[in-house]
Structure 1
Amino acid sequence: MTQDALNFSGQVAIITGAGGGLGRLYALDLAKRGVSVVVNDLGGSLDGSGSSATAAEAVVEEIKASGGKAIANAADVTDEAAVNAMVAQTLDVFGRIDILINNAGILRDKSFAKMEMVNWNKVVDVHLNGAAVCTRAVWNIMKEQGNGRIIMTTSPSGLYGNFGQANYGAAKAGLWGMMNTLGLEGAKSNIHVNCIAPSAGTRMTEELMDAGTLKLLAPENITPAVVFLCSDAAPNRKVLVAAAGTYSLAEMVETKGLHLPESERTPEGIAAHWGQISDRAEAEPIANVMEGVAKLVKAMTSA
């Protein structure tokens, strides 16, 4: 990898939810590297209620005070018209869009038995649909440029589950699925789509962790991973897990499996062979649906 792969000079980024927490840190770091930044933040409370441009404007002032370029925007990421207007504003001011970081999010935690559907719908709308709205708004621009970097913010809650976060976990897992397809569709236009799965002490997690854990999970540790995913050196269709200075890759894998003869294709047959079916000794990631089909054909042929 050359030094040029991490040269962001002349690039433009839109970062949603950048009025505080992780988004603010991404904005400050990219701005120091020469990126012109659109600091988007609705300015609402943790559960998504209310709005104010104050938070976004404060981050813009921080960037400008350090010699960087930035503008504030308070669009709701679920409002397609407002997002399209934000993209138009970005093009008017900066002339291009190279990076989109879908970082905006809210929490409405409750066990599934007690969760009202209004709280399910709102969380899924902001995290999953909001990311789709913002990505769709910049997609064709990046295609025409022949370049783009898009980061989705998934979560360990989406990858592995977390009590009381069925709505949040479902939305975060959905972002992983969206990344996989968009990474395929954008590859020929040099649009790389990846996920960051952060664990950090922010406004969204401060009530869930003790002081020692919050200190260990300093949000500053996430920024290097995200900036890397914004660069020319970024991979495509990967989930980068980041927490407390440790960085790892999360992948969905499929076991080798077992092709059963027709006479054993019964619930009893599956139960009898469950050990072989679930054996992860030769598990491997599947790159796309067609590769999965090829794996099944190979298993049948071998049988």
Structure 2
Amino acid sequence: MHHRTAVVNGRTVFYREAGDPASPTLVLLHGFPTASHMFRRLIIDLADSYHLIAPDHIGFGYSDAPAVAEFEYSFDNLTTIALGLLDQLGLDQFALYLQDYGAPIGLRIASRQPDRVAALIVQSGNAYTEGFTPFWDLLFAHAKDRAGNEAAVRKLLELDATRWQYTHGVPTDRLDRLTPWTLDQALLDRPGNREVQLQLFYDYQFIEAELSESGVRGQVRTGGGSVKGIAVSQMGGAEPSSSRDLDMCPATDTPTTSAPTVQSRQVSPDEKVDVDGNEQIHIRYRLRNALHRMRAAAPDRRSVFVDEAVG
């Protein structure tokens, strides 16, 4: 795996790259509060068959993090930066893996340039009101009344909340496998970064309006299908979970669509994993399986329905 940077619209973007550029490309777009490091083990696991690109969004990870007065922190602008990076890398076609904040960026990419996107793999991402759990009530209240709700929202940027992003939903006997969340918190604690996150919290409200007429929104709502030739696979809902580092999750096989499911396996509690716990074997196995099926079914990497979902 290589660690690289590129300058896009005057801003330095850090990204991880692995695999043969001649292989099908999978672009991994991370969520809050982490960065591309959440994919580091997944990248290694898939690099024998795929070309992987995983950028840090501006304001996250090792990419530039200018103050809010110096940069327009909106998902629309982050999309422009992401597309600029993909343009520089000469990637004419790719699949998108969208996790959390990766969704409002990746879905905009698919809406703007559908001919470039072979597939959408959506994990804990959203494009519709009904998909949001009560966790989001405070954030949407903040979007309507920033001054009245800012104090409560700022608590979501503190260590206890960051730790919860990793531990929520993880069985007790697997908590010791989690990677420490201190890197995420250290980056959130940089001067001015909390204001960056508050601005993005505010901006999230606009994704539904932008995507409602694109057709992409409807397919993410139903959990799968094909829109404008783009395959859509839904992996979970829009509730925060331990997916921040692709950590261990309960072993379940609950599809969210009525389509036939990809062959999968249960993960036993005593299954050996890395001591830092950053391999969610359940998701990694099923994702690799789905990607191989896409590749076998359509060598041109277009118009494939990936009928897999991870609960």
Superposition TM-score tier, normalisation by shorter sequence: 0.3 to 0.5
Higher relative contact order (CA 8 A, sep 6+): 2
Q: Which structure has the highest helix share of the two?
A: 1
Rg comparison, structure with higher value: 1
Q: What TM-score does the superposition give when structure 2 sets the normalisation length?
A: 0.40
